[in-house]
Amino acid sequence: MSATATTTTTTRCRCASNNQRQKQQQRVKALMMMQSSRGRGGGGGGRRSVVVTRAERKAGSTYADADVEFWKYQGLGNDFILVDNRDSSTPKISPERSALLCDRNFGVGADGVIFAMPSPDPEKFDYKMTIYNSDGSEPEMCGNGIRCLARFVSDLDKDQRGKKYNVSTLAGLIVPEVREDGQVAVDMGTPILDVANVPSTLKDCETSHEMIVDGEKWLANAVGMGNPHCVVYKKANGEMISDVYGLDLPKIGPIFEKHETFPAKTNTEFVQVVDRGRVKMRVWERGAGCTLACGTGACATVVAGVIEGHVDRKCVVELPGGPLEIEWRESDNKIIMTGPAEPTFQGTTALGV
Ligand code: ZDP
């Protein structure tokens, strides 16, 4: 292990760069304009005016006259708006309105919106999970989110602790279990190490490959967890990252996210090795920016760390929001992620938000 690599200024997590903030504000303002053009509040038989986007109007959606009850949950500070959608196979909130709801000033504030959907095939699945990132995009999977979903349905139905849920996701079957101690242990399935299916155009997933970002050469591993991940432990000159909190994430994060070698864009994890059983990690998420934790990212971090020989198969990933226990089992190649998921508050969307 050669000299260590640090770059520019220290930045606090979740600090969003100005232009990202401005873009978000423009998006929110557009939606608010749409709202005010429809007039606010009740009158006319108690039907509330809501933001109905062009897409919804075109699709003739059923969103129009629903104000929606929601719960707020978080897993290590990665926070989500949870909606009980088990009575309909259509998410009750559109991607656009989800982006508005996720805004921390103009909405409720969250990293995403998660819907507990009815099972597409009761033989195989108990429920389906649909998620929208805070920018309204729909990812294939989310680790902290599926722990929150399991805890959510367990709380709603007052289920026994120790119950496992077979959940259908765009990444396939995922099996969370709400344990006696309240922690949620998740069978995340097996990592995708066929580079085309990550998807990435890096040479392969067998080792790290050079990526030039903001004029610097980094070594990155492509790992799929249903959603794409780019995991960075060191610079191309072999310097290991020695201080993840020294990295300017709002500056380099968006460049990694949209890098040409990841055609579906990517989540990017920056990792500092503490020892073979513990790493520190900060993440710049696709469609959500700087978050306090990323569960699929923590899984990808350990997979890349094992491939590169930096860590053991059982490893604690310390995130800004707290630690996640990750085990990449040799016996069946599956990844088990264990961590918390807690409710914070409940509410109802109002006045068309
Ligand atoms: O793949 C993506 O677009 C992610 N932003 C999805 C959310 C991932 C999450 N943070 C996680 O914990 O895996 C919820």
Residue 42 confidence (pLDDT): 45
Does the C-beta of 288 come closer than 6 Å to ligand 1?
A: yes
CA distances from 7 to 11, 211, 240, 258 (A): 11, 16, 12, 20
Number of the ligand 1 atom closest to the C-alpha atom of 294: 12
C-alpha dist (Å) from residue 303 to 157, 194, 207, 227, 268:
35, 13, 11, 14, 14
Residues with catalytic annotation? Answer: 142, 294
Contact 144, 112 (CB under 8 A): no
Task: Please tell me the predicted confidence (pLDDT) of residue 29.
Answer: 61
Query: Which pLDDT score is estimated for 238?
Result: 95
Ligand 1: which of 79, 113, 114, 141 to mutate, most ligand atoms within 8 Å of CB?
Answer: 141
pLDDT value at position 104?
Answer: 95
- The whole-angstrom separation of Cα 338 and Cα 298 is 11
Distance of CA 29 to the CA centre of its chain: 24
Q: Between the CA of residue 168 and those of 154, 159, 173, 284, what are the distances in Å? A: 16, 19, 5, 26
CA of 230 to the centre of ligand 1 (A): 13
142 lines ligand 1 (CB under 6 A): yes
Instruction: Dihedral sign for Cα 169, 291, 152, 329, please.
Output: positive
Instruction: Out of 151, 269, 285, 324, give the residue to mutate to test ligand 1, the one with the largest number of ligand atoms within 8 Å of its CB.
Output: 285
User: In angstroms, rounded to a whole number, what is the distance separating the alpha carbons of residues 337 and 238?
Assistant: 29
- What is the 3-state secondary structure of 65-89? CCCCEEEEEEECCEEEEEEECCCCC
| pLDDT at site 353 | 47
Instruction: Characterise 161 by phi-psi region: left (phi > 0), alpha (psi -120 to 50), beta (else).
Output: beta
* Mean pLDDT split into 10-residue runs, the chain, 353 residues: 41 51 60 54 43 47 68 98 97 93 94 98 97 97 98 94 96 97 97 98 97 97 98 97 97 98 98 98 97 98 98 98 98 98 93 51
- pLDDT at residue 46, as a whole number: 41
Residue with CA at minimum distance from ligand 1 atom 8: 142
